């Protein structure tokens, strides 16, 4: 067997996916927590050129991020067609809840997702989910996952690349080269983070620029960081990073949209500087990001901030590209659904943040997932 090492941080969902992939295939590996071991972090950065996790080394090969396709090539993947009652794309609050409901109805169910937990994993603190005064997103989703694993559900860690409808059934293909067929399909694929759309953004991603503070935040202990965004998750992120970073600059394009209590807690911190009505113009650095230029929108005054890391939290885009023109989307690329999670295609249902339901809340996504599962059950029984 090859020598496999996984460099991870404690709350990184993508790190968990790499380890889960290897565990499922009984591949032995050594896990190194670079959030607590600074020398290991320096070794990882030197070997991979990355200031982000996960990083996986297989002998002399280095994989950055959760690369399901390459992991499947190295350690094997089932490529057979599989017939099921219900296929669920996505394993966030909506997909996981749908899976539990489908399993309890006795349906042969498959969950396909690149992560377990979705956007909820990036919530530092959740204070409005019934039954918990406060719980971290990663902990809440871990409880969801535990309940799913108690059910008769097959869970595949892979990226869906396409969906077609053939002879009244749905066929889902994945990046790992596997195809699955089901009578009903539930799309609960969530969203992915927006980026700034400025030069060098892709070059610095993983080299000081991050869209996942829960993953990469521990690597910036005692360093100066900037956060771009003014919503709840951005402010929560800033509050958490202020506890480990030497200084936090938060750049808000207009004004805060976050809960007032969180904003008040943030602005009271002595190592936080708030830049209201500023926008990011450029990123700077050589091998790694070392600063950014921001502009005050009212005066057009430009300032360079020297920082070690930048975390983006400026919004989310629905994960619907894999659907092609199979189903009706709205102008925001969300799957259009009715009050019962039904789409324009019979037998295809959608739930959670990928759908046209207005409120993006964990508790609403879970409820919509339950509704979609019950509708899928009725469809399978009648067909």
Question: 188: which 2 tokens?
Answer: 């609960």
Q: Which member of 12, 15, 102, 215 is catalytic? A: 215
Single out the residue of 368, 381, 378 nearest to residue 188, CA to CA. Answer: 368
Q: Which member of 67, 216, 249, 308 is catalytic? A: 216
Whether 312 and 210 have beta carbons less than 8 Å apart is answered as: yes
**Kind of pairing, strands 316-318 and 191-193?**
antiparallel
Q: Which member of 212, 262, 341, 353 is catalytic? A: 212
Burial, 42: exposed, middle or buried (Cβ in 10 Å; 0-12, 13-18, 19+)?
A: exposed
Single out the residue of 85, 95, 87 nearest to residue 116, CA to CA. Answer: 95
Is residue 321 annotated as a catalytic residue, yes or no? Answer: no
Residue count of the chain:
383
Contacts of 299 (CB under 8 A, 6+ apart): none
Is residue 215 annotated as a catalytic residue, yes or no? Answer: yes
SS3 per residue for 277-331:
CEEEEEEEECCCEEEEEEEECCCCCEEEEECCEEEECCCEEECCHHHCCCCCECC
Is residue 12 annotated as a catalytic residue, yes or no? Answer: no
User: So which residues are the catalytic ones?
Assistant: 212, 215-216
């Amino acid at each position: 067997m090859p020598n496999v090492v996984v460099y991870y941080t404690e709350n990184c969902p993508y790190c968990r996916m790499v380890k889960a992939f290897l565990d499922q295939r009984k591949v032995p590996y050594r896990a190194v927590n670079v959030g607590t071991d600074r020398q290991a972090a320096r070794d990882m950065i030197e070997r991979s050129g990355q200031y982000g996790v996960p990083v996986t080394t297989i002998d002399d090969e280095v994989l950055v991020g959760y690369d399901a396709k390459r992991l499947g090539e190295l350690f094997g993947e089932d490529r057979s067609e599989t017939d099921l009652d219900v296929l669920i794309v996505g394993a966030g609050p909506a997909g996981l809840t749908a899976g539990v409901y489908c399993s309890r109805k006795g349906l042969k169910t498959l969950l396909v997702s690149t992560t377990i937990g979705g956007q909820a994993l990036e919530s530092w603190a959740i204070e409005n989910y019934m039954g918990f005064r406060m719980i971290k997103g990663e902990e809440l989703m871990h409880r969801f996952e535990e309940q799913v694993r108690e059910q008769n559900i097959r869970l595949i860690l892979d990226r869906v690349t396409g969906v077609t409808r053939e002879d009244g059934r749905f066929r889902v293909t994945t990046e790992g080269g596997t195809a699955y067929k089901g009578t009903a399909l539930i799309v609960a694929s969530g969203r992915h983070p927006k980026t700034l759309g400025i030069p060098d953004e892709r070059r610095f991603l993983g080299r000081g620029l991050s869209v996942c503070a829960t993953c990469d935040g521990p690597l910036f202990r005692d360093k100066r960081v900037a956060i771009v965004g003014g919503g709840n998750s951005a402010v929560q992120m800033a509050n958490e990073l202020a506890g480990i970073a030497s200084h936090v600059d938060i750049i808000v394009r207009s004004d805060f949209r976050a809960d007032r209590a969180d904003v008040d807690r943030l602005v009271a911190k002595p190592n936080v500087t708030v830049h209201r009505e500023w926008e990011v113009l450029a990123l700077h650095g050589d091998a790694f990001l070392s600063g950014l230029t921001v502009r005050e929108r009212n005066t057009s005054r430009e300032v360079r901030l020297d920082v070690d890391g930048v975390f983006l939290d400026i919004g989310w885009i629905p994960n619907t590209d894999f659907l092609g023109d199979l189903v009706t989307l709205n102008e925001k690329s969300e799957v259009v659904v009715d009050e019962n999670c039904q789409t324009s295609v019979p037998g295809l249902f959608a739930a959670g943040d990928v759908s046209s339901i207005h409120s993006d809340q964990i508790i609403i996504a879970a409820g919509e997932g339950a509704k979609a599962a019950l509708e899928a059950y009725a469809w399978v029984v009648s067909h």
